[in-house]
Amino acid sequence: MPASSDFALSRRGLIVGSAASVALTTAPSIVSAQAAAAGGPAMSTISVTVNGKIHHLDLDTRTTLLDALREHLHLTGTKKGCDHGQCGACTVIVEGRRINSCLTLAVMHDGDSVTTIEGLGTPGTPHPMQAAFVKHDGYQCGYCTPGQICSAVAVLEEIEDGVPSHVTADLMARPRLTEAELRERMSGNICRCGAYSNIVEAITEAAGREA
């Protein structure tokens, strides 16, 4: 049995040791909180090519790609609908693939190439997909339209590349450009005006098929 003084010493040592452990485990969060308070938000410099032009941006690391495009580069063709990945209004093409720009941080795209609706065509020289949307009234208010068009351009590439969708029956065969395929692949782009039939007609025409 230890003497009572030994026990008291051991107990005090344990308490001191535990307190030191707690201090060590909590120290990083205290330090990072103090650093954040002292230094403000973490910033980062990225280089991104947008519509063929390289930009060097100093950004708060929390900035989404959508906000970088709209607020920093003033490319407001890309729309913010839900800001939660639910509507598709913010769709842009990054490195050849369509993404929701509200769901990705700009700093994740250092060195990437981004195409927005402004980079597809101009009113004088529209992209074939833009011209087809105009011809087939593929919109009413137009708010979802930039995202719809960027998505539609990428959809045709996906079909051309043989990427299957949920409704592709034969995964070993090249997907066919059917209405079911187009509606499934465009299902992430919501149109509150309900222009879906006209959108399918426009994409079908842009693909060089009979609407």
| C-beta of 175 vs 186, nearer to ligand FES | 186
The only residue of 49, 55, 85, 121 in contact with ligand FES, by rule CB under 6 A? 85
If 0-12 CB within 10 Å is exposed, 13-18 middle and 19+ buried, where does residue 121 land? middle
Is residue 139 within the footprint of ligand FES (CB under 6 A)? yes
Is residue 76 within the footprint of ligand FES (CB under 6 A)? no
Q: Nearest to residue 184, comparing CAs of 174, 193, 175?
A: 175
> Is 133 in contact with 189 (CB distance < 8 Å)?
no
Give the pair of three-digit tokens for residue 185. Answer: 């692949």
Residues within window 98-127 making contact with ligand FES, judged by CB under 6 A: 100, 102
| C-beta of 145 vs 168, nearer to ligand FES | 145
CA distance linking residue 130 with residue 39, whole number of Å = 46
The only residue of 75, 81, 99, 185 in contact with ligand FES, by rule CB under 6 A? 81
Strand ranges, E, within the chain: 43-50, 53-60, 91-94, 97-100, 113-115
Tell whether the torsion through CA atoms of 128, 130, 136 and 138 is positive or negative. positive
Cβ-Cβ contacts under 8 Å for 119 (sequence gap 6 or more):
50, 51, 52
CA distance linking residue 15 with residue 65, whole number of Å = 50
| C-beta of 80 vs 127, nearer to ligand FES | 80
Helices (H), 71-138: 117-120, 128-135
Helix/strand/coil for 192: coil
| C-beta of 136 vs 168, nearer to ligand FES | 136
| C-beta of 145 vs 204, nearer to ligand FES | 145
The only residue of 106, 191, 202, 206 in contact with ligand FES, by rule CB under 6 A? 191
The only residue of 77, 131, 143, 187 in contact with ligand FES, by rule CB under 6 A? 143
Is residue 88 within the footprint of ligand FES (CB under 6 A)? yes
CA distance linking residue 206 with residue 126, whole number of Å = 12
The only residue of 87, 99, 117, 159 in contact with ligand FES, by rule CB under 6 A? 87
Of the candidate spans 16-24, 26-34, 78-86, 166-174, the one that interacts with ligand FES by CB under 6 A turns out to be: 78-86
| C-beta of 48 vs 202, nearer to ligand FES | 202
Binding site for ligand FES (CB under 6 A): 80-83, 85-90, 100, 102, 139-145, 191-193, 195
